[in-house]
A = this chain, B = another copy of it.
Amino acid sequence: MSLQFAILTALAERQSTGIELTRRFDRSFGYFWTATHQQIYRELDRLSSCGWVEATTPPDRPGRGQPKRFAITTDGISALQDWLHGIDEPAPVRESIAIRLRAAAVVGDIAGVRAAVTRHLEVHEQNLATYRDIDARDFSVPETETDILRHLVLKQGLRSEQMWADWCREVLSTLDRLPPRSNPPE
């Protein structure tokens, strides 16, 4: 499981409360790993149990609505260092948009997928704009070693969004060039 190491990495960069972590996963971590606050709290709990992170409860009153500050322990850092040397296969591909296209091909409905592809294009263009902002803001100056690695991660996100946007445009312009016909052939 990688989520726990994503959290360890985040905490190694900066200690945080649960909600801060959640926001960081929506922002700068979101371009390579997504997680909801429910996942994050559950995982923080597990990581505390095995001593890889330590929670600082505010001394006055512990309880439900009270922010806890989480920090990585030295054990956690070792665990992260060990994991980092591991190898895994590329993530299995699951693109529902591609199923829709291929389904459209087989039932002969070439117009039915247009809206879905348009929506994808919209999202990927938005992401691309966001990542370019981050790129300009955080990585425009000569870089430290740490920044060079972090920049490489962002570049993957940039490449990916660019690829998707390009492909969506290719799909749309190809659909435009086909004879308009939204019903299956007889």
Contact = CB atoms under 8 A, between A and B. Distances in A.
A19 interface: no
A149 B101 CA distance: 6
Interface stretch (A42-50, A52-60, A80-88, A132-140): A80-88
Q: How many copies does the complex hold?
A: 2
A141 interface: no
Interface string A96-116: 111111111111111011011
Interface of A: 2, 5-6, 8-9, 12-13, 30-34, 77, 80-81, 83-110, 112-113, 115-116, 119-120, 123-124, 145-150, 152-153, 155-157, 159-160, 163-164, 166-167, 170-171, 174, 178-179, 184
5 contacts: A33-B94, A81-B112, A90-B124, A108-B146, A152-B170
